[in-house]
C-alpha cells in the first residue's frame, strides 16, 4: 500500500513540476482518507457521494487536468445532502448549487474565485432548513478559507507552498469528517432508542417518549404530545391504526431529515401500537372482571334465595317439630339433627339479610351457633354494600367452619375494622398448618374475595391460624364502637 502511494506520488510529482514527494504523497493520502471517511457512514447516499469526492481527488492527484474537479463535486455533495432531505426538493436551490459546482470544476479557475464560490454556496445552503445545515455551512466556509490561503500563497503573501497545500488538504478532510460525523452521531443515537423502549413507563407514554427523544437525540427542545392537543408550529404527526396518535415537535433540524424522522416516527409508532394493545388488554380485563362480578352477584342471589327457602320451608318447620316432639326425646333429637344438617349445608349464607349493617347481626348469629367460645370484636354499627357484606360473611363462615372441623379449635376470635376498607380477621387456637390447597375452600374463597377487589391473607403456624380479608368498603363504610 505504501509503495503504491509513493508511486502515485512520484507520478504526480513529475507532472506537477517540482512538488516534493511528501506533498504529493499527502495529496494521495488525502483522497484515501476521504474514501475511508465515506465508508464509515451507514447511509448509501452518503457513502456514494463522499466516495465520489475521494475518487475525484485521487484522479486529480494523477491527472493534472482534474486537479480542481473535486471542488465542484464537494460543493454539490455538501449542499445536496442538506437539500435532498427536504420534501419536495427545492429545484431552484438545486440548480444554483449545480451551477456553482460546474464553475468550480472548470480547469484553471483561480483560488480566490473558488473561495468566493464556496462562500456563495454556503449562503445558498444557509437559506435552506435541513438537519445538517450548520455543519454544511461550516464545511463550505472552511473550504473557502482554505482557498484564500492558497490564493495568498500564490501571490507570495501566504505560507510556503507545501504548508498551504497541507492546510488546504487538512481543511477538505476536516469538512468531510465534520459532515460524516454528524450523520454517524444521529445514526448511533437512533440505534440506541429501541432498547430504551423497555424503560418507558406506560402511565404517560407521551411524556416518556419526550424524555427518550431528549436523551437519545440530545435535544432539550424535543417534545411529544397527544395528537388531540393543538399542534405546535412545525410539528409532525404520527398515526397509529390510521388515526393521529402523537405530535412531535422540536426546534432542532433533525425533524426535517426524512431518515431521522422515519426512525423517530417508527419508535413513536411502536410505543403507540404498544399502548393501543395495552388499552385493548385493559378493556378486555375490565370486561372479564365485570362479567365475573355479575356472575358472582347472580350466584350469591341464587344461593340467598335457595337458603332463604330452605330455612323457611325446611329448617323452620323442623325447629317447630322439635318443640312439639318434646315428649319423645329420641325423635326430637333426630329432627334436631336433621335441622342441623340442613344448616351445615347452608354455611356461608347469612340467616339475615346483608347490606346496610346486616353483617353485624349475621356475625352475632354465627357466633351464637358455634359449639365453642367465639369472641367478637365488631362495631356496634356498620354500613357497607351488600356484595361486600356477603363476601365478608362467607369468608368468616368458611374460616370458622375450618377452625371447628379441621383445627379442632377451643376458642375463636372475630374482628372487624376499617374505614375506606373493611378488614376482617378470624383467629383460632387450633392445630395450624392451614394452606391454600388446589380446589380447596380457602382457594375458592380467595378467588371470590379477589373478584370483589379484595385480598385474602393466610397465616398458619404449628398452633393457631389467622385468616385476614381486606375488602374495599364501597360504596360506604361507617363503623361505630366495638363491642
pLDDT of 144-180, one tens digit each? 888 888 788 877 776 777 777 788 788 778 877 877 7
Q: Is the dihedral of CA 247, 253, 258, 261 positive or negative?
A: negative
Considering the entire predicted model, what is its pTM? 0.44
Instruction: Flag whether pLDDT at 461 surpasses 50.
Output: yes
What does the pLDDT average to over 248-271? 79
Q: pLDDT grade, residue 121 (50/70/90)?
A: confident
- DSSP at 423: E
Which range among 94-103, 128-137, 224-233 shows the weakest confidence by mean pLDDT? 128-137
Which position has the grid cell 426538493? 89
What does the pLDDT average to over 44-62? 78
Instruction: Flag whether pLDDT at 451 surpasses 80.
Output: yes
Tell me the C-alpha to C-alpha distance, in Å, between residue 410 and each of 231, 240, 464, 468. 72, 64, 10, 19
Which one is predicted more confidently, 288 or 429?
429
Displacement of CA 474 from its chain's centroid (Å): 33
Q: Percentage of the chain with pLDDT > 70?
A: 75
Instruction: Flag whether pLDDT at 437 surpasses 50.
Output: yes
What does the pLDDT average to over 83-90? 60
Tell me the C-alpha to C-alpha distance, in Å, between residue 32 and each of 21, 23, 28, 52. 16, 14, 6, 11
Instruction: Flag whether pLDDT at 239 surpasses 60.
Output: yes
What does the pLDDT average to over 212-223? 82
pLDDT on residue 89: 58
Q: pLDDT grade, residue 81 (50/70/90)?
A: low
Q: Which of the given ranges, 199-203, 302-306, 401-405, 425-429, has the highest pLDDT on average? A: 425-429
Please give the sequence-ordered ranges of beta strands (E in DSSP) within 60-202, or none if there are none. none
Kind and range of the H or E element at 239? strand 236-240
Tell me the C-alpha to C-alpha distance, in Å, between residue 107 and each of 73, 160, 306. 13, 23, 106
Which one is predicted more confidently, 379 or 424?
424
Grid coordinates representing 136?
454544511
Instruction: Flag whether pLDDT at 130 surpasses 80.
Output: no
Q: How high is the mean pLDDT of the chain?
A: 75
Q: pLDDT grade, residue 343 (50/70/90)?
A: low
The span from the CA of 51 to the CA of 210, in Å, is 37
Taking a C-beta distance cutoff of 8 angstroms, is the pair 442, 434 a contact? Answer: yes
Instruction: Flag whether pLDDT at 56 surpasses 70.
Output: yes
pLDDT on residue 447: 83
Instruction: Flag whether pLDDT at 2 surpasses 70.
Output: no
Instruction: Flag whether pLDDT at 5 surpasses 60.
Output: no
Taking a C-beta distance cutoff of 8 angstroms, is the pair 224, 246 a contact? Answer: yes
The span from the CA of 68 to the CA of 149, in Å, is 16
Taking a C-beta distance cutoff of 8 angstroms, is the pair 66, 104 a contact? Answer: no
pLDDT on residue 259: 66
Which one is predicted more confidently, 105 or 5?
105
Taking a C-beta distance cutoff of 8 angstroms, is the pair 428, 460 a contact? Answer: no
Q: pLDDT grade, residue 28 (50/70/90)?
A: confident
pLDDT on residue 10: 40
Residue 408's nearest CA partner among 433, 428, 436, 437 is 428
Q: Percentage of the chain with pLDDT > 90?
A: 1
SS3 215: helix
Burial zone of 344 (CB within 10 Å; 0-12 exposed, 13-18 middle, 19+ buried): exposed
pLDDT on residue 349: 62
pLDDT on residue 481: 39
The distance in angstroms from the start CA to the end CA of the chain is 99
Which one is predicted more confidently, 231 or 440?
440
Amino acid at each position: 500500500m505504501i509503495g503504491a502511494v509513493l508511486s502515485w506520488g512520484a507520478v504526480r510529482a513529475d507532472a506537477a513540476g517540482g512538488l516534493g514527494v511528501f506533498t504529493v504523497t499527502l495529496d494521495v493520502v488525502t483522497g484515501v482518507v476521504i474514501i475511508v471517511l465515506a465508508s464509515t457512514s451507514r447511509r448509501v447516499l452518503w457513502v456514494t457521494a463522499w466516495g465520489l469526492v475521494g475518487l475525484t481527488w485521487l484522479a486529480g492527484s494523477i491527472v493534472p487536468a482534474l486537479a480542481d474537479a473535486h471542488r465542484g463535486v464537494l460543493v454539490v455533495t455538501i449542499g445536496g445532502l442538506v437539500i435532498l432531505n427536504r420534501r419536495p426538493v427545492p429545484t431552484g436551490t438545486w440548480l444554483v448549487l449545480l451551477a456553482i459546482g460546474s464553475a468550480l470544476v472548470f480547469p484553471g479557475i483561480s483560488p480566490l474565485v473558488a473561495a468566493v464560490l464556496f462562500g456563495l454556496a454556503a449562503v445558498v445552503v444557509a437559506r435552506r432548513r435541513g438537519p445538517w445545515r450548520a455543519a454544511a455551512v461550516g464545511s463550505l466556509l472552511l473550504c473557502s478559507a482554505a482557498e484564500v490561503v492558497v490564493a495568498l500563497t500564490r501571490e507570495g503573501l501566504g505560507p510556503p507552498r507545501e504548508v498551504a497545500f497541507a492546510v488546504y488538504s487538512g481543511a477538505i478532510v476536516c469538512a468531510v469528517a465534520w459532515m460524516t460525523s454528524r450523520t454517524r452521531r444521529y445514526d448511533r443515537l437512533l440505534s440506541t432508542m429501541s432498547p430504551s423502549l423497555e424503560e418507558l413507563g406506560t402511565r404517560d407514554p407521551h411524556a416518556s417518549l419526550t424524555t427518550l427523544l431528549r436523551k437519545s437525540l440530545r435535544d432539550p427542545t424535543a417534545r411529544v404530545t397527544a395528537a388531540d392537543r393543538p399542534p405546535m408550529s412545525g410539528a409532525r404527526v404520527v398515526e397509529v391504526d390510521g388515526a393521529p396518535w402523537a405530535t412531535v415537535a422540536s426546534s432542532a433540524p433533525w425533524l426535517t431529515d426524512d431518515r431521522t424522522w422515519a426512525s423517530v416516527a417508527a419508535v413513536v409508532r411502536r410505543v403507540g401500537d404498544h399502548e393501543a394493545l395495552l388499552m385493548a388488554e385493559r378493556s378486555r380485563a375490565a370486561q372479564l372482571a365485570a362479567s365475573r362480578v355479575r356472575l358472582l352477584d347472580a350466584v350469591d342471589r341464587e344461593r340467598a334465595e335457595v337458603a332463604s327457602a330452605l330455612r323457611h320451608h325446611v329448617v323452620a318447620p323442623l325447629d317447630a317439630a322439635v318443640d312439639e316432639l318434646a315428649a319423645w326425646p329420641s325423635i326430637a333429637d333426630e329432627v334436631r339433627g336433621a335441622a342441623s344438617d340442613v344448616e351445615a349445608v347452608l354455611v356461608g349464607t347469612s340467616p339475615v339479610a346483608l347490606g346496610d349493617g346486616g353483617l353485624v347481626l349475621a356475625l352475632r348469629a354465627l357466633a351464637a351457633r358455634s359449639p365453642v367460645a367465639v369472641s367478637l370484636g365488631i362495631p356496634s354499627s356498620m354500613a357497607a354494600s351488600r356484595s361486600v357484606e356477603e363476601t365478608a360473611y362467607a369468608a368468616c363462615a368458611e374460616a370458622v367452619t375450618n377452625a371447628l372441623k379441621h383445627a379442632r379449635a377451643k376458642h375463636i376470635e372475630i374482628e372487624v375494622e376499617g374505614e375506606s376498607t373493611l378488614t376482617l380477621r378470624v383467629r383460632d387456637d387450633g392445630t395450624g398448618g392451614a394452606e391454600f390447597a388446589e380446589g380447596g375452600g380457602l382457594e375458592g374463597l380467595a378467588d371470590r374475595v379477589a373478584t370483589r377487589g379484595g385480598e385474602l391473607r393466610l397465616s398458619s403456624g404449628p398452633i393457631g391460624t389467622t385468616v385476614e380479608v381486606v375488602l374495599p368498603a364501597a360504596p360506604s363504610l361507617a363503623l361505630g364502637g366495638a363491642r
